[in-house]
């Protein structure tokens, strides 16, 4: 390994720790400011944000450090040798994937338990039993990591056949996959984890049907998902295309909000659909994947050249490179997240404007938003740094002001 690469690795982890430190500093300062502006806000909300930051920091370090250990220790190469051993590329990919992702699953299991089960119950956000929590984690591993293992051979087959343009060819293949995930996953994958049923007849269904007619989406189905067995959080979304359009309401949303508030939230989600945000997100996702794969090829090639075989391999056709790919993809995703979140916040503002245009009900929009934020133990605002990196929605303060002052045209 060259001095240049060693320096780059050390610098990366120093910057990573500095990034975590600055994020904590910014949010702790923000919390002190909020305590002055909102003296009646419960300390539980602040403690939850601090605990969430701790979990984020641990996850962030794990996401880079563990794959790096796989590389530098030669463990990834050993798994690759064991997986190949004269086997076909397809079978080798399955074996490597199950071993690698299985180890990653076990490494992350304690922090997953702490973040989703322990903290969830500590702050009264979770309804899960321990058995249910474990069931969902196993299902997640089987659906995400195990299925991924079945397709590991594809990028390496492409790399082998077109070593210089593999990233572009793989990007072309990824386009239908992205579309599948967005439109098909809610109908195929989501039911593995939860049960869906049509919203029963009544005032709420009539009110939602009425606003759907206003925007000529009366053929959309209205579904309810049983999220209450897992969480106390509230949410709703709209997905699907053509005759498969559907609005999905979490049962918690129906149980904890009044009819007008649920209608407001539903109108917001309809706004995302009518404004074409689903398709725009797909296009941005496709463009982002292009950039990431290009950078992945350039950076991985440079690292392999500078490593001088220190990881046990020298080219990208070896499956042992998977941890390096994961490190780089995680890095580029983090670097791109401010752009993604900026676009998301703009889409949310458009959906907020559409919501009050459709319902003409500012009061219900604000009351629903306050209840959602309170239920999720959200802060009225975040530090500029935190918002820049992580906020996919405008802050509570900004959205309330927007709802109460924004001019709108009746739909």
- How does pLDDT run across 250-293, given as a tens digit for each residue? 999 999 999 999 999 999 999 999 999 999 999 999 999 999 99
Looking at residue 202, its pLDDT comes to 95
* Secondary structure letter of residue 194 according to DSSP: S
Percentage above 70 pLDDT, the chain: 100
pLDDT at 59 over 90: yes
CA distance 236 to 208: 13
Binding residues for Zn(2+): 268, 272, 348
Q: Per-residue pLDDT averaged across 226-244, rounded?
A: 89
Looking at residue 148, its pLDDT comes to 84
Domains and CATH numbers, the chain: 3-190+279-337 (no CATH), 194-277+345-405 (3.30.2010.10)
Number of alpha helices (DSSP H) and beta strands (DSSP E) in the chain: 19, 4
Report the chain's mean pLDDT, rounded to a whole number: 94
Give the pLDDT confidence score for residue 86 in this predicted structure: 83
Q: What is the DSSP string of 282-325?
A: HHHHHHHHHHHHHHHHHHHHHHHHHHTTTTS--STTSGGGHHHH
Q: Among all residues, which ones are annotated catalytic?
A: 269, 352
DSSP run (H or E) holding 238: strand 236-239
Binding residues: 268, 272, 348
Cα 12 to Cα 1: distance, rounded to the nearest angstrom: 16
Q: Please count the residues of the chain.
A: 411
> 7-11, 56-60, 146-150, 317-321: lowest mean pLDDT where?
146-150
pLDDT at 134 over 90: yes
pLDDT in tens, 74-105: 999 999 999 998 899 999 999 999 999 999 99
Please name which of 354, 380, 359 lies closest in space to residue 369, comparing C-alpha atoms: 380
How far is the C-alpha of 343 from the C-alpha of 204, rounded, in Å?
32
Grouping H, G, I as helix, E, B as strand and the rest as coil, residue 377 is coil
Element of type H or E holding 272 = helix 259-274
Averaged pLDDT for residues 132-157: 90
Among residues 250, 225, 245, 220, which one has the least CA distance to residue 235?
250
């Amino acid at each position: 390994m060259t001095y240049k690469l060693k320096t780059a690795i050390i610098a990366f982890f120093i910057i990573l720790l500095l990034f975590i430190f600055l994020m904590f500093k910014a949010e702790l300062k923000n919390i002190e400011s909020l305590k002055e502006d909102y003296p009646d806000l419960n300390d539980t909300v602040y403690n939850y944000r601090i605990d969430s930051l701790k979990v984020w920091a641990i996850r962030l370090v794990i996401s880079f450090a563990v794959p790096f250990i796989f590389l530098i220790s030669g463990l990834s190469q050993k798994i690759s040798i064991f997986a190949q051993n004269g086997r076909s590329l397809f079978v080798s990919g399955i074996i490597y994937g199950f071993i690698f992702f299985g180890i990653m699953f076990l490494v992350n299991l304690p922090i997953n338990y702490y973040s989703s089960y322990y903290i969830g119950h500590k702050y009264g956000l979770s309804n899960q039993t321990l058995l249910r929590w474990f069931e969902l984690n196993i299902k997640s591993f089987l659906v995400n990591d195990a299925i991924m293992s079945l397709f590991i051979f594809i990028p390496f087959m492409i790399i082998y056949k077109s070593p210089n343009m593999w990233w572009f060819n793989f990007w072309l293949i990824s386009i239908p996959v992205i579309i599948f995930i967005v439109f098909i996953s809610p109908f195929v994958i989501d039911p593995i984890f939860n049960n869906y049923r049509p919203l029963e007849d009544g005032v709420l269904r009539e009110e939602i049907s009425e606003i759907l007619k206003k925007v000529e989406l009366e053929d959309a189905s209205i579904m309810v998902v049983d999220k209450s067995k897992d969480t106390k959080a509230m949410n709703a979304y709209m997905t699907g295309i053509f005759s498969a359009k559907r609005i999905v309401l979490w049962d918690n949303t129906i149980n904890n909000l009044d009819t007008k508030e649920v209608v407001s939230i539903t109108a917001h989600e309809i706004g995302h659909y009518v404004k074409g945000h689903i398709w725009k997100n797909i296009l941005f996702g496709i463009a982002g994947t292009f950039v990431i794969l290009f950078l992945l090829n350039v950076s991985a090639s440079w690292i392999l050249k500078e490593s001088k075989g220190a990881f046990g391999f020298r080219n990208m056709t070896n499956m042992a490179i998977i941890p390096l790919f994961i490190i780089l993809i995680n890095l580029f995703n983090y670097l791109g997240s401010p752009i993604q979140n900026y676009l998301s916040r703009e889409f949310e503002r458009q959906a907020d404007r559409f919501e009050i245009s459709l319902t003409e009900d500012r009061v219900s929009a604000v009351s629903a938003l306050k209840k959602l934020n309170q239920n999720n133990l959200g802060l009225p605002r975040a530090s500029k740094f935190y918002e820049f990196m992580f906020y996919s929605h405008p802050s509570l303060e900004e959205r309330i002001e927007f709802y109460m002052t924004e001019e709108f045209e009746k739909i």
